[in-house]
Amino acid sequence: MDNEKGLLFHIIHGSFVDGYGIRTTVFLKGCPLRCIWCCNPEGQLGYPEIKLTPSLCDGCGRCVPICPTNAIQLEPKSADDRIRIDRELCTNCGKCNEVCYTGALDRFGKYYTVDEVFNIIKRDEQFYRASGGGVTIGGGEPTFQAGFTNALLRKCQENYIHVAVDTCGYTASSEGLAILEKADLLLFDVKGMDAEEHLRNTGVSNDLILSNLRRLDDMGKAIIIRVPLVPGYTDSAQNIKSTAEFLSGLKSVERVDLLPYHEYGRVKYGQLGRECRLNVQPLTEERLNNIKDTFERYRLNVQLGG
């Protein structure tokens, strides 16, 4: 199991926003949801993807002949539009990024064994001990790569490292549910209470998600709820009230984190050759505080941010 491989797209050291204390956050690729507001589009698909940053290209042309499907074209119009990838032809084989010395062509996604990831995690162990922190496994969605996530979770716990799992809650497999049941802490997303709206916004209904949340709450799991606040999608007065009311009926919720929409992920859509479908402005500080007040009226422990 320690040699089982998982596909990661990022590892962050010294995080303060993914659970308690100082944490190392491991981001796995692959997710069953397609949230309109997703800020980690590189985490959606379960395979490595070519990352293109045209402004870094110097037009050397090394990538063109090495592409087996002729998906790359050089168009020396400007520094920001010098290279193009035909994503319908691209197979994400990675040969182009192997010869790109400027970083214009790179990859979202790299395979690691459990042992390799654990050895990276263990370097920060002194910070976990001093702060009450640990490891957070996120994504994407950790249950999407259930075998790898279970093995990494077990390896950390066997070495007395606290493990939080950041999940959308959309899993029905026994292996996926085992991850949620074994985690020391769950960071559980609640993206909306209306099933039809949830389907439009994320691509799936929330029935399974809320069912899993109720079940885990009945088990007494330590849970931090994460609520994305996206203008025009999740910030309606009705959704805020319904969400707060629902959460107030759970007994294992330790905190509710309200996550304001931001635009940091927009550039990554371009790097993947995709269109960012969302065109909204972040909520004002006044509106965010009003939403926080609503949750607090239901006697929930609330904070803005993760």
CA nearest to 144, candidates 113, 117, 114, 179: 179
Q: 263 pLDDT exceeds 90?
A: no
- Report the half-sphere exposure of 104 (CA within 13 A, side-chain side): 24
Q: How far apart are the first and last CA of the chain?
A: 32
Separation between Cα atoms, residue 122 and residue 161, nearest integer Å: 9
Q: pLDDT-based confidence at 78, cuts 50/70/90?
A: low
With bands split at pLDDT 50, 70 and 90, how would you rate the model's confidence at 264?
A: confident
- Other C-beta atoms lying within 10 Å of the C-beta of residue 286: 8
Are residues 59 and 76 in contact, defined by beta-carbon separation less than 8 angstroms? yes
CA–CA dist 168, 32 (Å, integer) = 9
Question: Residue 71 and residue 56: Cα distance in Å, rounded?
Answer: 18
Q: What is the pLDDT of residue 1?
A: 63
Token duo for residue 259? 């996550």
* Cα angle 259, 20, 130; round to 5: 145
For residue 123, how far is the Cα from the chain centroid?
Answer: 23
Instruction: Provide the pairing of β-strand 5-15 with 23-28.
Output: antiparallel
Of 157, 150, 142, 163, give the one whose Cα is nearest residue 9: 142
Flag whether pLDDT at 225 surpasses 90: yes
CA distances from 117 to 42, 124, 152, 258 (A): 19, 12, 8, 30
What would the mean pLDDT of 226-254 be, rounded to a whole number?
A: 97
pLDDT at position 12: 97
pLDDT score of 271 more than 80: yes
Q: How far is CA 43 from CA 9, 33, 109, 145, in A?
A: 7, 10, 8, 12
Q: What is the pTM of this model?
A: 0.94
Pairing of strands 5-15, 110-113: antiparallel
- CB neighbours of 11 closer than 8 A, spacing ≥ 6? 24, 25, 26, 27, 117, 120
Please determine, for residue 80, whether its predicted confidence score (pLDDT) is greater than 80. no
Q: Give the CATH H-level superfamily of domain 5-46+110-304.
A: Aldolase class I (3.20.20.70)
Indicate where the chain has its CATH 3.30.70.20 domain(s). 51-108
The per-residue pLDDT for range 274-303, each reduced to its tens digit, is 999 898 989 999 999 999 999 999 999 999
Judged on CB neighbours under 10 Å (0-12, 13-18, 19+), 231 is middle
Residue 221 has pLDDT above 70, yes or no: yes
User: To the nearest whole number, what is the mean pLDDT of the chain?
Assistant: 95
**pLDDT of 243 strictly over 70:** yes
Class of domain 51-108: alpha beta
pLDDT score for 198: 98
- Residues spanned by CATH 3.20.20.70 within the chain? 5-46+110-304
At residue 83, does pLDDT exceed 80?
yes
